Structure 1
Amino acid sequence: MASFHARSNSLPSRQHPLTSQIEENLNRLRSSQSASTSSSLGQQLNGVQDLHEHVDMLLQLPSTQQALSQEQQRKCVEELLDGSLMILDVCNIAKDALLQTKECTQELQSILRRRRGVEGLASEVRKYLTSRKAVKKAICKALKNLKHFENKQSTSSCEVTSILRGIEAVTCNVLESLLSFVSGPESESKLSRFNLVSKLMHQKKVASDEDEENEIANAEATMRSFVKSENIKHVENLQNELQNSEACIQDLEEGLESLFRRMIKARVTVLNILNC
């Protein structure tokens, strides 16, 4: 009796080296601790960028395009496209938050360079703090959207879409860490028992501890301390903190913009595969 073998329309049974590399990078990012410093966050952004670069190469493979173009995978692929659109929206919110914080930081630095005393400076610092409230409000909304999206994620039996799901989840985690970092630690625990003074003392105490370093939050804490005291001695410290914050923001902006471009490219490729 003749035997008939069904031809698989998914990836070949022998795993492609590119797929193995992606899964290895995915596992590395999954096992890494949540980014809580600018340096660790930068490393995670670079890791996700590398993932999306590999995704672009994966999407060029004929076997990948064949798997994604199957009718039974269409719903899953469309869900991935919807997810990528939501993640891109979150990226835009993060970019806006960084840009607004950077512009306010630069403006305050300019004012500090022009003024020799503290007269009127407290009101300018308060303007910065007010702008940060608006930034944090937008970030809080974006974080809620991310959490809601993560809770709705489904699994896939197709190897290609399963890999894309994994990359989507890791990207969400890194963006969540980024947004939390930009917003600052006080937004993570509104029921904190520490007042502003004790927070500032704690931040100074752990300045050498990489796991607690947050240049944006440090600058904000110093500003709050200055508003309370209006002590001229704090001005130099404030200038240093603002410089550190601006440098940190610049690095995060570059990493986020690079990730954004790679995600756009992958999305366009998937759309082209569906429309073929």
Structure 2
Amino acid sequence: MAASYHARSNSLPSRQHPIVSQIDENLNRLRASQSASTSSLIGHNLSGLQDLHECVDVLLQFPLTQQALAQEKQREMVEELLDGSLMLLDVCTTAKDALLQTKECTQELQSILRRRRGAEGLANELRKYLTSRKAMKKAICKALKNLKHIQNKLSTPGENGAVISVLRDVEAVTISVLESVLSFISGPEAESKSSRWSLVLKLMHQKKVMCEEEQKANKFLTAEAAVRSCIKSENMKHVENVQKELQSSELSIQDLEEGLETLSRHMIKTRVTVLNIISC
């Protein structure tokens, strides 16, 4: 890391400048927790990613940074990063849409369960919830493949200036956090279907195989499990459990929605700043 830090300092504002060390600290912190598979840890990583993008926004205001990005020899790499940022925004939108879809079918099912006092005749409504979740998982599988495509481009070697290297590192960490968010929302099924990734990512996925406690912490999975149990039994006790799990999953949805919305705004701001720099 010391060598990387020294190399960066050659064209970044200053080796001693706090924003440079803050970026490196945030990158290291997010890399260390990229296998997060619980709601609280994923929320923490989203918050950390927002902090990282705020630091990048500050970095992009320095004249030295802007001069480095405006160089003609860096144009191809900058364009590649801009393409990647657009794809990441699309992935972020997919994640937000998945949460919105899950929230809507969750609230609809909750409303139906409140109106009906018994379990009889609820099977079709419960199946609608699972069908909606299944459709959402297909969209997430596609988004995970798009993340893989961006990742492959980032792994392509090339002569990069210090600023480009920082932005590539930030993009790589953003991919990792979004991947964990998508996998958490959909559960392990979409994750396994998209596992034709590199050996490194496969090993990372293996580390993320949820233990029983982590599965219980994933309110999306526990809600699905409760719904399936209720379909099989149509027992009033299971209906009450479905209501409880749906309420818990709605809280997880709200936290993730807020984190993704804030992240999207930061990513858009960074993209606009870079576009303005190279357009001058």
TM category (shorter chain) comes to 0.7 to 0.9
1:178 to 161, 173, 181: 181
From the superposition, tell whether residues 17 and 118 of structure 1 become closer, same or farther in structure 2 (CA, over 3 Å): same
| Residue aligned with 1:120, SS | coil
Counterparts of 2:215 and 2:227 in 1: how far apart (Å)?
A: 22
How far 1:80 moved relative to its partner? 0.6
Secondary structure of the 2:164 match is: helix
Q: Separation in 2 of the partners of 1:211 and 1:137?
A: 20
Contact 1:9–1:67, Cα closer than 8 Å, also in 2: no
Alignment of 1:24-39 (within 5 A): 24-39=25-40
Is the contact made by 2:36 and 2:180 (CA closer than 8 Å) also made in structure 1? yes
**Alpha-carbon deviations, 1:96-155, whole Å to 9, x = none?**
000000000001111111110112211101011111111000000110111122122135
| Aligned residues with identical type, % of pairs | 72
The reply on whether 1:99 has 2:103 as its aligned counterpart is no
Displacement, 1:28?
Answer: 1.2
Q: 2:256 aligned with 1:252, yes or no?
A: yes
Deviates more, 1:219-228 or 1:153-162: 153-162
Amino acid across the alignment from 2:259 = G
Q: 2:226 aligns with which of 222, 242, 248?
A: 222
TM-score normalised according to structure 2 size: 0.86
Tell me the CA shift for residue 15 of structure 1.
4.7
1:10 deviates by 3.1
Instruction: Give the Cα–Cα distance (whole angstroms) in 1 for the partners of residues 34 and 176 of structure 2.
Output: 11
Distance 1:151 1:113 in 2: 48
- Paired AA for residue 252 in structure 2: C
- Aligned partner of 2:160 in structure 1 is 157
Q: Deviation string for 1:54-83 (max 9, x for gaps)? A: 111111111111111111111111111000
Q: TM-score, length-normalised on structure 1?
A: 0.87
Deviations 1:223-276 (A, max 9, x none): 011111111110111111000000000000000000000000000000000100
Aligned 8 A contact 1:36 1:212 in 2 = no
Specify whether residues 37 and 221 from structure 1 end up closer, same or farther in structure 2 by C-alpha distance, changes over 3 A only. same
Which of the numbers 168, 180, 186 marks the counterpart of 2:171?
Answer: 168
Amino acid at match of 1:120: G
Residue in structure 2 matched with residue 49 of structure 1 by the alignment: 50
Distance 1:107 1:70, change over 3 A: same
Cα offset, 1:40, TM superposition: 0.5
Instruction: Give me the whole-angstrom Cα distance separating, in 2, the residues matched to 1:57 and 1:75.
Output: 23
One-letter amino acid of the structure 2 residue matched with residue 262 of structure 1: H
Name the structure 1 match of 2:68: 67
- 2:21 maps to 1:20: yes
Structure 2, unpaired ranges of 5+: 1-8, 194-209
In the alignment of these two chains, the number of paired residues is: 254
Contact 2:10–2:162 (8 Å) recurs in 1: no
CA contact 1:22–1:51 (8 Å) conserved in 2:
yes
Root-mean-square deviation over aligned CA pairs: 1.9
Instruction: Determine if contact 2:215/2:221 at 8 Å carries over to the other structure.
Output: no
Give the corresponding residue for 2:81.
80
**Deviation readout 1:183-229 (Å, 9 max, x if unpaired):** 01233347xxxxxxxxxxxx9x94xx357520011101110111111
Hey, what does 2:205 align to over in structure 1? none
| Larger Rg over CA atoms | 1
Question: C-alpha distance in 1, partners of 2:122/2:240?
Answer: 13
